[in-house]
Amino acid sequence: MIGAVLVPACRACLRALVTRKPRTGRVERVLRALLLLPPFGFALVLLRLRLWVLGPLTKDGVTDDGVQVRCRLPDLIQMYVYFFGVWEPDLTAFLRRRLAPGQGFVDVGANVGCMTALAARRTGAAGRVTAVEPSPPVLDELRETLRRNALTNVDLVAAAASDARGELVLYAGPQHNVGLTATVAHRGLQAVGTVPAAPLGELVPAAVLASARLVKIDVEGAEDRVLRGLLPVLDRLAPDAELIVELSPIWWQDAALRPIDVLRPFLDRGFHVYLLPNDYWPWRYLWPADVAPPRRLRDLAQLERRVPRLDIVLSRVSADEL
């Protein structure tokens, strides 16, 4: 079958190019990136052809943290997990450092559960993880991830977090990037139905919010509404709770809204903005241990521009980096 043998061979080539060194020089990065291009490009072409002819290719993947994932290739997240064993290395490293046994984690926009499962393993049986995911097909894959990893400390919420109770139209991401699934129309996505929606304080029990060390929000253009809906229960969060947010201002429905407008209520409540490194180019995944901490954004004028994407951490800690 198309790619069933050749794709694993490409994976072996890519894994051979991965270095675990904590620091990788520029010259070495360039050389590794150049060597990546032939096997990665070949595998991508094979997988796209297979998707067009026969549908996705399913393979078993495992992350560097031991999380097992059923990978439907060529979906971006699952493909990177299969090829490189990690998704978003800098965020993953931050979760490893921040989460401890007995703590809580709320994953808004959990997708197939890479971060949900990592958090569940880090917080242990005494911790509690809540995964919020509105898409029924994606939710099925999330359940499969939890089943494969025998994780019982995760509560699933089949709804969309927003700023009001009601229903929202769900737009499905393409099969090569299911992570684009959203409740905001963008990139020509097709509507596939409606899903229930409510503010996070109604979707997540007060006790869970109070125990949450981290709240991750990745909702492809609806984060302005999620953050607005979180404001009424912000005081329920623990003093050391931190919010990890992927902002996508270019997809916000209000064309005049800027990141500073969305974040100002949090700044007024004592939070500071830290920039979290994030890079989706495949060669970034060849040096996954070379990570950087979130660094304090001192010049808030940068938040006045509607940039395509901004990965941040909101924390009450006042420091140069987290």
Per the domain annotation, does 60 fall within a domain? no
Per the domain annotation, does 2 fall within a domain? no
Per the domain annotation, does 27 fall within a domain? no
Per the domain annotation, does 195 fall within a domain? yes
Query: What domain range is 230 assigned to?
Result: 86-315
Task: Return the pLDDT at 35.
Answer: 98
Task: Return the pLDDT at 4.
Answer: 74
Task: Give, for all 322 residues of the chain, the pLDDT tens digit.
Answer: 566 789 999 999 999 999 999 999 999 999 999 999 999 999 999 999 999 999 999 999 999 999 999 999 999 999 999 999 999 999 999 999 999 999 999 999 999 999 999 999 999 999 999 999 999 999 999 999 999 999 999 999 999 999 999 999 999 999 999 999 999 988 789 999 999 999 999 999 898 899 999 999 999 999 999 999 999 999 999 999 999 999 999 999 998 999 999 999 999 999 999 999 999 999 999 999 999 999 999 999 999 999 999 999 999 999 999 9
Within 13 Å, how many C-alpha atoms sit on residue 268's CB side? Answer: 7
- In angstroms, rounded to a whole number, what is the distance separating the alpha carbons of residues 283 and 293? 19
Task: Return the pLDDT at 5.
Answer: 84
Q: Identify whether the C-beta of residue 135 lies closer than 8 Å to the C-beta of residue 195.
A: yes
Tokens for 137? 């097909």
What are the φ and ψ backbone dihedral angles of 11, each rounded to 5 degrees?
-60, -45
Per the domain annotation, does 225 fall within a domain? yes
Per the domain annotation, does 101 fall within a domain? yes
- Classify the C-alpha dihedral 75-81-82-83 as positive or negative: positive
Per the domain annotation, does 130 fall within a domain? yes
Task: Return the pLDDT at 1.
Answer: 58
Task: Return the pLDDT at 57.
Answer: 95
Per the domain annotation, does 149 fall within a domain? yes
**Residue 192 maps to which CATH number?**
3.40.50.150
- Classify the C-alpha dihedral 50-56-57-61 as positive or negative: positive
Domain total of the chain:
1
Say what the pTM is.
0.96
